[in-house]
Structure 1
Amino acid sequence: MAATETLTAERILEATEEVLRRHGPAKATVVDVARALGVSHGSVYRHFRTKAALREAVTKRWLDRTSEALGGIADDASRDPESRLRDWLAALFAAKRRKAGDDPELFATYSVLAGEQVQAVGEHITELTGQLTRIVADGVAAGVFHGVDPATGARAVFQATGRFHDPGYVAEWSTPEADTDFEAAVDLLVRGLRA
């Protein structure tokens, strides 16, 4: 980067991702980020007051990518709620698998950062369960899902599918039975919502 005038929070976050990929969360520093950008570490601190704030922002950015991708499915009222629910859950599982498989080092780094950023992860889970709540509420309104409070049902679905999106289960995502187990879990949950 030639001049500090062009330094933006987004550019800092992009550089931070690269530094984290190269050095890992234990060794990555604000000085490394500044060096990658060709600026002083003080310039980075003007955008992010502390190293912790920078780590929180990069974690939130990573989580927001998933939320935004899933939001399109959740908000597509032109589709029936059951299909949206199935597609939303499949997209979440696919996104987590892709992140873990395409760049395992970065995924491991973000797993560490997510463990540090309890508030950001909590907000992410709230966003995701909010999306599920909208789908379930649409299903109740359409008469497809019965006898369930949408928020309670959404939380139950999210928790029941944790094996397919919680990073603690990453080793199971590539097993031969993972897809079959996922489909069976989703089928069971959908049948429960329709009952």
Structure 2
Amino acid sequence: MAPTTETLTAERILEATEEVLRRHGPAKATVVDVARALGVSHGSVYRHFRTKAALREAVTKRWLDRTSEALFAIVGRDRAPETLLREWLCALFDAKRRKAGDDPELFATFSVLTGENSRVVDQHIEELTAQLTEILRDGITRGAFVVTDPEVAARAVFHATGRFHDPTYAGSWKRPEAQAEFDAVLDLLLRGLRAADRPQH
């Protein structure tokens, strides 16, 4: 094992862990493999992450956070609420589709890890629905959406579009008709939320 000259940080360990997971898969990857990739003892890794489970949870959170952070940047854009909601949902679908298509081995690995770390997944979903809630609340304030409870509506929108971001459905995202199906669901949701152009009775 070659000595390392760089300071060992949690971020470096997580980067190495992701690469080890890509190479070996979740079943075979070990803390020793991560330490070897970094040129340190496995004890050095354990000083940052006390258990293998803690390391796997942290690397899973890091992977999920990339998506939530990218989407958070959209929330603050100066857009009409309907446009903003459309952009956010499209970005969510695109991000998940890219993860599944660009690096299928790592995507499969993290699909296993998210199953092991339900607390981290629940936190990720809470972060995403909080972003949706903010978009909907702004839309209500600006008279674009008619929604009684933005938090309830945000969860409903998230679940209604689940087929386009839940990893369970990743196999269907490459189908030629997937984008058209997503657009149809999105148009339907936006019509339901829209304040203007509602039929008069």
TM-score norm. by structure 2 comes to 0.94
- Hey, what's the Cα distance between the residues in 1 that align with 2:22 and 2:173? 22
Q: Which residue of 2 aligns with 1:150?
A: 150
Alignment deviations for residues 87-130 of structure 1 (CA, whole Å, 9 cap, x no partner): 00000000000000000000000000000000000000000000
Q: Distance in 1 between matches of 2:136 and 2:81?
A: 7
More helix per residue = 1
CA distance in 1, matches of 2:181, 2:75: 23
CA distance in 2, matches of 1:148, 1:156: 13
| Aligned counterpart, 1:14 | 15
Q: Distance in 2 between matches of 1:147 and 1:89?
A: 18
Residue identity opposite 1:18 in structure 2? E
How far does residue 4 in structure 1 lie from its aligned partner after superposition?
7.0
Q: Report SS of the residue matched to 2:147.
A: coil
Alignment partners' CA distance in 1, 2:146 and 2:21: 46
Q: What secondary structure, in the 3-state scheme, does the structure 2 residue paired with 1:136 have?
A: helix
Counterpart residue identity of residue 192, structure 2: G
Report the secondary structure of 1:49's partner residue.
coil
Secondary structure of 2:26's counterpart equals helix
Q: In 2, distance between residues paired with 1:2 and 1:192?
A: 60
Matches within 5 A, 1:70-149: 70-76=71-77, 78-149=78-149
Contact 2:13 2:38 in 1 (8 A): yes
The 3-state SS of whatever aligns with 1:111 is helix
| Structure 1 equivalent of residue 198 of structure 2 | none
Please report how far the alpha carbon of residue 6 of structure 1 lies from its aligned counterpart in structure 2 after TM superposition.
0.4
Counterpart CA distance in 1 for 2:83 and 2:177 is: 23
The alpha-carbon deviation at position 137 of structure 1 amounts to 0.3
Contact 1:9/1:47, CA 8 A, preserved across alignment: yes
Q: Greater Rg, structure 1 or structure 2?
A: 2
Distance 2:178 2:6 in 1: 49
Query: 2-side partners of 1:186 and 1:103: how far apart?
Result: 27
Question: What residue in structure 2 maps to residue 40 of structure 1?
Answer: 41
Q: Counterpart amino acid of 1:102?
A: D
Contact 2:147/2:153 (8 A) holds in 1: no
Q: Offset at 1:2?
A: 4.1
CA displacement at 1:43 relative to structure 2:
0.2
How far apart, CA to CA, are the structure 2 residues paired with 1:104 and 1:151?
33
Q: How far apart are the structure 1 equivalents of 2:135 and 2:125?
A: 15
Moved over 3 A (4+): 1-5
Q: What is the RMSD of the two structures over their aligned residues, measured on CA atoms? A: 1.1
The CA distance in 2 between the partners of 1:4 and 1:116, in whole Å, is 34
Is the Cα contact below 8 Å between 1:82 and 1:144 reproduced in 2? yes
**2:184 aligns to what?**
184
Deviation at 1:5? Answer: 6.4
Percent of aligned pairs with the same amino acid: 73
Is 2:165 the partner of 1:165? Answer: yes
Q: Is the 2:129–2:158 Cα contact (8 Å) retained in structure 1?
A: yes
